[in-house]
Amino acid sequence: MARIAVTDGLSQEAKSVLEKQGHEVVIKYYETSELESGVLNEFDAVIVRSATKLTSKVIAASTNLTVIARAGVGVDNIDLQAAGEAGITVVNAPIASTQSVVELTIGHLLSSVRNVAKSDRSMRDGKWEKKVLKGSELSGKNLGLVGFGRIAQGVGTIAQAMGMIVHAYDPYLPPKIAKNHNTRLHKTVDTLFANCTHISIHCNLTDETHHLVNYEMIKKMPGKSPDGIQCGNHIVNCARGGIVNESDVLKALNDGNLASAALDVFEVEPVVEDYDLIKHPNFHSTPHIGASTVEAQRRVGLDIVNNVMSVLSGKKCDFIVNKDYLK
């Protein structure tokens, strides 16, 4: 049976599934220096979350690995090409956290337009700013989704139930899928921003999408809804840090091109102390907790161990993310 390292934690239930199949599970966090020195060479598989970075140097030192498993969706902390060229299969668990991220995204949208975080801070300071904290409704507004995968589709469904008109930009999406979701698909991200006062990010972080949301893109946003309401512009990102240029967001908040911004993910995590963006009154954030629910973590753990066992036993796995690089 296999020896499996778990570097960023795993539920007891998921650990038990592996152990009942005869696998040895070692739960321990390793520093970068340990990873680069080949500590994972003692294992057949490793399960990570976002904290552990499996670079080409780490992978080169881990010659006995057969499987790298990302307990979650994003795999930008894993060098997929290096893994594939080393014959290591990389799998993830993309479905498990979908509902949790959808709900957090909607929560941030609502908090933005109704000044929930801003009101809370004000009341903690002993103020009663009822007249100042007038918001706007989501109903009747254009919501632009950058990327239209499972999470974006879930957000779009709820947004439509609240009366929003949903738009999307996804160059890899068959138009039929957008049509089936009653969503207007844009050919360019520029036209998406030009038509939408509310933007939510749902794409992967790649060279192409790094700082895709920048000051010039934000300036394209209309600030006015189709029914003529001056609702301002709002951006939410619960996808990956680095897609949004945070310095540009601060600039847009300062000059009024953005009425609000809400981030669950940041380019550098954890965020540095005294970060100017976090101090802005029209900004609110969460510390990368999109998948941090009891339900999602249970599903993630069970899904990822099943994927690992499928690969180890030579069975079909639908969640291999580095097929293009595997030898």
Residues identified as active-site: 240, 269, 288
Can you tell me the distance from the alpha carbon of 314 to that of 23, in angstroms, rounded to the nearest whole number? Answer: 15
Can you tell me the distance from the alpha carbon of 240 to that of 290, in angstroms, rounded to the nearest whole number? Answer: 10
CB-based contact 199:234 (threshold 8 Å): yes
Phi/psi for 235 (5° steps) reads: -125, 135
Give the closest residue to 297 by CA, choosing from 8, 85, 31, 25: 8
Longest dimension (CA), the chain: 66
In sign, the C-alpha dihedral spanning 211, 217, 218, 221 is: negative
Write down the H helix ranges in the chain.
12-20, 32-36, 56-60, 80-85, 98-113, 116-124, 150-161, 175-180, 189-195, 215-218, 246-255, 276-279, 294-312
Q: Which helix (H) or strand (E) holds 167?
A: strand 165-169
